[in-house]
Amino acid sequence: MKALVTGGAGFIGSNLVISLANKGYDVTVVDDLSMGLTKNLESVKDKVKFYKHDVCDHQFMHRVLDQDFDYIYYLAAVASVADSVERPMETHKVNHESVVDTLEYLRIANLHPKKFLFTSSAAVYGNYPELPKKEDSRVQPLTPYAVDKYASERMTIDYGTLYGLNTVAVRFFNVFGPRQNPNSPYSGVLSIVTKCLVNDEEFTLFGDGKQTRDFIYVKDIVNALIFISESEKSNEVYNVGYGQQNALIDVIKMYEKASGKRLKLNYADARQGDIAESLADVTRLTQLGFKPKWGLEKGLAEYWDYTMEEYNE
Ligand code: UD2
């Protein structure tokens, strides 16, 4: 089986590539390393074909797509919401135009992967209070990032229904785990907590800690992506979370237990625009037959073990 993973050197991408390569897939990665790192793929570097290249180079992407993949996982993106607000046009090229160009090339070159999977985000739901978020809940994309994610997932589904491609889109909730980069204030909160625990640094908790999120371990995300792409069903959008709502402060406590360490907390005002509650309705994914293997507590424990191994190397 031949798989293409764009953004395969990033946080979720590298976890996916490692899993696919270890399952025996013939994996090709396109990543310009603007956010990803080659060291993320160190363990599979002899098994994976790697192109350091921008997905916005359409001629290049067409040549890659001509290799006729069975599965295409489209994870390349400027993953920072803040960056999309600073540079809306540039991020639009990556987060939307490159996706449409890929779909269009599949159409005109008459290429028919078993699945084209686009990765979207819970950001498309915005600030409406209705919970849990169902795939057909109202959307409210409040930033260029969210607009582009929503537009790209619609294009993905429409290319499926209009031109007979097998496509799916997934909306990630709050993903955590190995290789998530903690170095921006907008990095995933648990990567920042991890860094603080390792270095005995103070963690700034924005708000009272009662804000809730549907955190999901990256290995369950990867299993879900593979499961969804291998399923018969196409032209559908799936929420990917656990369908469990946890207060940030409770997750921190769970993580303290898993790590055997105490986090030094510094409380600060809630971030402007911070969402109070987030929760996925995962009925659609569950009905497809997917069951997560890890869960929050085991995921946190494994994330900590991984971090310690890295730290002691
Ligand atoms: C997630 C996505 C974001 C966007 C948004 C849409 C991530 C990393 N971010 O933002 O891209 O899709 O969902 O709803 O997945 N926090 C602290 N201290 C810190 C950092 C964060 O207290 O140093 C808090 C933060 O204020 C928030 C919570 O932790 O209440 C989670 O923050 P986050 O940035 O990991 O994720 P979120 O859900 O705000």
Q: Whole-angstrom Cα distance, residue 66 to residue 145? A: 29
How high is the mean pLDDT of the chain?
97
Q: Are strands 48-52 and 26-31 parallel, antiparallel or unpaired?
A: parallel
Tens of pLDDT, residues 183-238: 988 899 999 999 999 999 999 999 999 999 999 999 999 999 999 999 999 999 99
Centre of ligand 1 to C-alpha 225, Å, is 22
For ligand 1, mutation pick of 11, 189, 272 (most atoms within 8 Å of CB): 189
Q: Which of 207-211, 216-220, 300-304, 308-312 has the lowest mean pLDDT?
A: 308-312
Q: What is the pTM of this model?
A: 0.97
pLDDT exceeds cutoff 90 at 311: no
pLDDT digits (tens, 9 = 90+) for 53-104: 999 999 999 999 999 999 999 999 999 999 999 999 999 999 999 999 999 9
Sheet hosting strand 115-121, strand order edge to edge: 48-52, 26-31, 2-6, 71-74, 115-121, 167-172, 236-240
Is the pLDDT assigned to residue 313 strictly greater than 80? no
| CA 39 – ligand 1 centroid, Å | 25
**Interval between CA 188 and ligand 1 midpoint (Å):** 6
Ligand 1 within 6 A of CB of 124? no
Per-residue pLDDT band for 247 (boundaries 50, 70, 90) equals very high
> Minimal CA–CA distance to 22: which of 305, 294, 223, 296?
223
Q: What percent of the chain has pLDDT over 70?
A: 100
- Ligand 1 atom showing the smallest separation from residue 187 Cα: 8
Tokens at 46, concatenated: 């002899």
122 C-beta closer than 6 A to ligand 1:
yes
Does any ligand 1 atom lie closer than 6 A to the CB of residue 143? Answer: no
CA-nearest residue for atom 14, ligand 1, is 123
